[in-house]
Amino acid sequence: MQRITSFATCRDLAGLAAALFSKTVQPWKRTSRSASYAPTHQQSTKLPFGQSVRGLRRPRIAVPPFAGHVHRLYGTAGEERGSKNPVITVVGIPDPITWIRCKCDILIIELLFELGLGSKEFENGVKQAVVHASQMMSSRQFAQLKRVASNETVQYVKKKCASLSEEQRQALAVSLEDIIFLLPEEVSVLQDDNGRKVCLITMRLWFLSILEGPDDHEATKIFRVAPNGDGSSPQKKIVTAVYEFRQELRTGMPPEWEITNIWHWHWTLTE
């Protein structure tokens, strides 16, 4: 596989870095680069990521939260569960080097392929895909998960879910109201020997969970949740998940994304 885009620049964008790419889905690591692309012949999956962006424009890229910023989540889901939405304070920022690298990568990819990776539509599509996939894992509906994820990914998360307790597995489910923030962690375009191009983008997100257990230290470095005042509802915490998405770039075809890797903080509870 030849890497078409990476954090490198050269004359006419023609000499960007090359790299080999693994075909095996591996457990996610915080410092690892994406390594889970594998060609699949199953029916292509259509996720609600919006349409391709036409015309050159500067994509919208989420800005890391500012330390000290305080905000409250709003929504009806929390009220239906009988719990109040917590106050969340930003106490740190994600890795700025990673953010800058991804911003440059997305700008280059937009110039070359116009995928709309920095658009609000793509961000909403990522959230919807995460909500759907996490709920399928939580309810053990792995056959439904195959509609949005590769076979290798489904087998991997099925094995991971089997090692969780009933409470831990049910806590995998993420709602839209629980998602605090998400950022691209890596983005690249690969080309194989046959000239087929594939876009891969890794998204890291932080969301609220009521699962009891140790804190997610990666999340607590950035966000802090205010404790419940009345103690009548479970104390929520912020945890991390990482999802990788893949799209084959085909001229004249609508965007069709597939999940090719999933990592939830909950996996660490069984390690």
Q: How confident is the model at residue 254 (pLDDT cuts 50, 70, 90)?
A: confident
- Predicted local distance difference test score (pLDDT) of residue 15: 31
Lowest mean pLDDT among 126-130, 232-236, 246-250: 232-236
**Residue range 26-82, pLDDT digits in tens:** 334 333 443 333 333 333 334 444 433 333 333 344 444 444 444 444 333 444 444
Q: Domain range holding 240?
A: 2-270
Q: How confident is the model at residue 231 (pLDDT cuts 50, 70, 90)?
A: low
Q: How confident is the model at residue 86 (pLDDT cuts 50, 70, 90)?
A: confident
Total domains present in the chain? 1
Task: Please name the residues in contact with 208: beta carbons below 8 A apart, sequence gap of 6 or more.
Answer: 73, 86, 178, 180, 225, 236, 237, 238
- Predicted local distance difference test score (pLDDT) of residue 36: 38
- Measured CA to CA, the distance from residue 200 to residue 43 in angstroms comes to 18
Q: Quick one: CA torsion of 244, 150, 239, 118, rounded to 10 degrees?
A: 30
DSSP letter for 98, please. Answer: H
Which residue did the predictor score with more confidence, 30 or 128?
128
Q: Is the pLDDT of residue 261 over 90?
A: yes
Q: How confident is the model at residue 196 (pLDDT cuts 50, 70, 90)?
A: confident
Q: Is the pLDDT of residue 172 over 70?
A: yes
| Average pLDDT across the chain, whole number | 74
Q: What are phi and psi of 108, to 5 degrees?
A: -65, -45
